[in-house]
Amino acid sequence: MKSHLHNYRRARGFTLLELLLALSLTGLLLGMLSAGVYTVVSDWRRETTTLDTTLDKSLVILQIERALLAAVPHSYIDLERLSRFIYFEGSANELRFASMVSPQRRTGLTAWRLLSTPGEGVQLALTPAFSDNPDERLEELQPQVLLPGYEIQFSYLVQRNTERKEWLDEWVGSDMQSLPLAVLVRFVPDDGQTEVLEIVAPIRAWRHDQIDPTIPVT
């Protein structure tokens, strides 16, 4: 009799309390596992987003640098003054120039307009550079935002003589009749905490040997 009672107790299974305890432990373990997985996924997404933003920013800056490296002394005739001038108009916060580089991979020259608007960021407008002054076409275009949250600043390198070079805050191509030796571009974040980014782009074709401002156009 005792043997049968002992076998019955062994075969009766788990009690309700034991089942509840097992379910509670299982739920606790699953919760800890889910929290760990969520943390890993969140960190991965955060790092991926940061990486994507950094890559996008680097690609934009690289494209601007390539365009400046390929800037050319594009010339046009001003019918009012009957003279030929170089197209390169730069101030401290805006730059217009012609380049052999185009983000759309267009053939021929492309006129670039780079500027920044407070609260919007660095902006860009592009138009083909024909034999005229492309300013009117650029003014008709709505610039596209390239780097939100940044302000763009420019400085222009001029060589006064064989021993002296100087950075200027303005460059008027129609007066200088040439391009600067290099352009310093600073990308200043609006938040004041993110690192300021800089590039110095030397301009290879900075001089137009066939233009003499003292000779009128016939």
Q: Show the low-confidence residues of the chain (pLDDT under 50).
A: 2, 5, 8, 37-53, 213-218
Helix %, strand %, coil % for the chain, to 5?
Answer: 35, 30, 35
In 110-181, beta strands by DSSP E: 110-117, 121-128, 144-147, 150-159, 165-168, 171-172
CA distance 132 to 154: 25
pTM of the predicted model as reported, rounded to 2 decimal places = 0.71
Q: Other CB atoms closer than 10 Å to residue 157's CB: what's the count?
A: 19
The pLDDT score that the predictor gives to residue 42 is 46
The pLDDT score that the predictor gives to residue 33 is 65
Phi–psi pair at 130, nearest 5 degrees: -90, -150
* Positive/negative CA dihedral, 30, 32, 38, 43: negative
Q: Three-state SS for 204?
A: coil
In sequence order, the 6+-apart residues with CB closer than 8 A to the CB of 123 are 114, 115, 116, 117, 143, 144, 145, 146
pLDDT tens profile 126-172: 999 988 999 999 999 999 998 999 999 999 999 888 788 999 999 99
